Amino acid sequence: MTNAGAASAALNGSMPKPAVVSKTSAFVSTSLRRAQKLCGHYCYPSNLSKCCACEDLRPIADGYECYVDGLGYTSTAARDDGYCPVCNTKNYDRWMARVSRETEKKRLEDAERERSEAERALAAEKDRQNAVEKTAGRVTYSNGNVYVGDLLDGRPHGVGRMEYFSDSDDTAIYYEGTWAQGKHEGRGKKKYVDDNWYEGEWMDGMMHGRGVFHMNEVDILDGIFEEDEFCG
């Protein structure tokens, strides 16, 4: 029990790190919770009655089989490598490093998403302005989409067909039907990749009302849709 004893002794000392770290992102939990166990040591809250070190009944060895962050599975891990971040400050440091990596990654992804959304919105507005004089006809958009039909204020409005070269999730092939202010509204058929298509009622760009969705010609949803969801 010398190693575990040493670990316990270390644990009996003051926790070197604060229990709660400032919250930086709603998507990454950055608060490290801890609970006092029956053995008297603090550990991450779980249904184990004792802390990681006291629950560890493995015989003493030179190395231990364990998954180690950034290293993978190894048989040469330290005894406390598998312990929770509360019981093992190395784990805590790795955990904190991972949290900050993930937070930074998410921040970059958010920034990139915002940037491309702003770019798309700007391009869409330019396209709209270029077509603003037309009441009907053919419009080729900067993203490659081609529209033929009625227009109002530079947007599809009335009856028309859009051939998609790209859309938000790149699944649309074409839409043919009625439009209002650039969105599917009324009745129309939209064809997607993988032989999926919907024909029926639309509202504010969403499948809404009575319609039929064909999925790969195998599953057919025939009934009422509400805001893109099939309700039966």
- Yes or no: say if 129 and 104 are a contact pair by the CB < 8 Å rule: no
Shortest Å distance, C-beta 86 to Zn ion? 5
Only one of the segments 17-25, 69-77, 80-88, 174-182 lies at the binding site for Zn ion (rule: CB under 5 A); that segment is 80-88
- Yes or no: say if 215 and 196 are a contact pair by the CB < 8 Å rule: yes
Shortest Å distance, C-beta 181 to Zn ion? 57
7 binds Zn ion (CB under 5 A): no
- How is residue 31 annotated by DSSP? B
Type and span of the H or E element at 18: none
Beta sheet of 219-226, edge-to-edge order:
136-140, 146-152, 155-163, 172-180, 183-192, 197-203, 206-215, 219-226, 229-230
Q: Which of residues 33-62 bind Zn ion (CB under 5 A)?
A: 39, 41, 43, 50-52, 54
Name the residue nearer to Zn ion (CB basis): 35 or 193: 35
How many residues bind Zn ion (CB under 5 A)? The answer is 9
3-state secondary structure of 140: strand
Cβ contacts of 111 within 8 Å, gap of 6 or more: none
Shortest Å distance, C-beta 37 to Zn ion? 6
Shortest Å distance, C-beta 3 to Zn ion? 13
Strand 42-43, strand 35-36: pairing = antiparallel
Shortest Å distance, C-beta 13 to Zn ion? 13
Among 7, 32, 84, 131, binds Zn ion (CB under 5 A): 84
- Yes or no: say if 89 and 16 are a contact pair by the CB < 8 Å rule: yes
Name the residue nearer to Zn ion (CB basis): 87 or 172: 87
Shortest Å distance, C-beta 171 to Zn ion? 46
Q: Report how far residue 139's alpha carbon sits from residue 217's, in angstroms, rounded to the nearest whole number.
A: 32
87 binds Zn ion (CB under 5 A): yes
The 183-222 contact track toward Zn ion, x by CB under 5 A, reads ----------------------------------------
State the residues that interact with Zn ion by CB under 5 A.
Answer: 39, 41, 43, 50-52, 54, 84, 87
